[in-house]
Chain A
Amino acid sequence: MDEAAGAYRILVVDDEPDLEPLVLQRMRRSIRSGQYQFVFAQNGVEALQKLGQDADIDMVLSDINMPQMDGLSLLERIPDVAPDTRSVIISAYGDMKNIRAAMNRGAFDFVTKPLDFDDLRVTIERTLNNLAAWRQAESSRMRLVAIENELDIASKMQQSILPTEFPESPLYEICGNMTPAREVGGDFFDIFNLENGHIGLAIADVSGKGVPAALFMMASRTLLKGTAIGLYDPAKVLTEVNQLLYEDNEAMMFVTLLYAVYDPASRVLTYANGGHTLPVLIHADGTHTVLPSTNGIALGVMDGADFEQASVTCSPGDTVVFYTDGVTEAFNDKSEEFGMDRLLEIFDSPMDNCRTTIESIFDTVTEFAGDAPQFDDITCLALRCIEGS
């Protein structure tokens, strides 16, 4: 179905009868405004029937455990019946085995039980944005349009995977931003909730450009999120994601990725690095230090690469800034590089919140670069530690 033609149709598949009234109630605004329409099925068999009859279904939201045909079997059958749809699965929290299995069978994303409708809304929106970008890519491929158009599509895909909302907590603040290069680069960042109130933070830079790089970026993000929820340790997560990316990477694409887990109660940040620039820890008084290196290679190129992790305990008022090399390698019209010194200088003046830190970085880089076109995306993510309990 064409985006302009009206509402997106979402098929919800679950054997629990309570879900239908709940979805209709909680999503009533989006339904009333004509944004979404929902149809329901009780199991995989019924879902396939609906998909076969109704070619306008854009997205499937399915439970895993159901009678007759479960969600995983359904995922395997969807491409035959309705190739032009995206699937999101509903799983028990931390049910890594099924989440992995679902991702391997082509699920775009997952949400966990009990359903958090704010999270579900964001997930649906991301999924449908991604689907829209994908459909545009497909139709362009058929029409063999110019490369600029392909870059535009890749840029939309990149935008569709960036978080649009930041978690709010009395214990920490998180803020991030990305300015795309004139020609699309491959930066992304992600933030997700882990067990016990811990937070996963990632920043990454994919090599290459265009649709293949955008697809590699999507794979990296999905694999990271899926793996992070089951394996806690950042080093183990990177080891696993590297292997999954390596196994299907003839084009030698790679992603530099720094992944960290923050425990707000103890204020301990544990991180592992896959060939990315190291974060900077800024103390409340403006003193700062680059976090120590943990050996690690960019993901996707080395079979069986292993990763190490390190931890740092933050104090209240500390800010950790993650960034991509688009920041330090921004150029001005005299071909001078922004560099590490200028970045660190920004942190000399104390800042009260994360948003100010991010804004100062972007303002300073933008002012430095002037009108010079930038060849790389500029991306920053900041975490500010408030009080621990």
Chain B
Amino acid sequence: MPIESRRDNGTLIIQTEERVDSANAQAFYQELDSAIESEDRAVVMDMERLAYISSAGLRVILQTARKLQQQNAKFAICSLSGTVREVFEISGFDRVIDIHSSQADAIAAVSG
């Protein structure tokens, strides 16, 4: 399932797919790349649907975070399932990616 995105009060909100592994990571990156405009300054990635993410998927999240940092945009992710949260914690990426439990919290963190 491809990603879905919408803009709400200047924040780009992206819903991820169910699974990101090495088989679809490149496609995921390209979808994110076309969803994010260079004018975007606030981006939230909602991972409610995401059941599995491999290291290839994590790399896409990092590349996206780096790209957004370069265009001075704020970036947060939210609504991680237990297993996905664990992947972020084990890899230590919870130290470089802003993680929130709800979409509302994430939006509040990136706007303003």
Contact = CB atoms under 8 A, between A and B. Distances in A.
**A and B pair up:** yes
Contacts, number: 59
A61 to B, nearest CB: 36
A252 B92 contact: no
A375 B90 contact: no
B38 interface: no
A15 B63 CA distance: 49
Interface in A296-311: 296-298, 301-302, 305
Interface residues of B, number: 17
A256 B91 contact: yes
B3 interface: no
Interface of B: 21-23, 54-56, 58-59, 62-63, 66, 90-93, 95-96
Contact of B91 (A183, A185, A298): A298
Interface residues of A, number: 26
9 contacts: A183-B22, A207-B58, A208-B56, A209-B22, A254-B59, A296-B92, A297-B93, A305-B92, A329-B54
Interface string A273-312: 0111100000000000000000111100110010000000
A264 to B, nearest CB: 29
A301 B90 contact: no
A19 B62 CA distance: 50
B86 to A, nearest CB: 10
A208 B92 contact: no
A297 B22 contact: no
Contact of A376 (B54, B62, B66): B54
A208 B93 contact: no
B93 A252 contact: no
Contacts of B56: 207-209
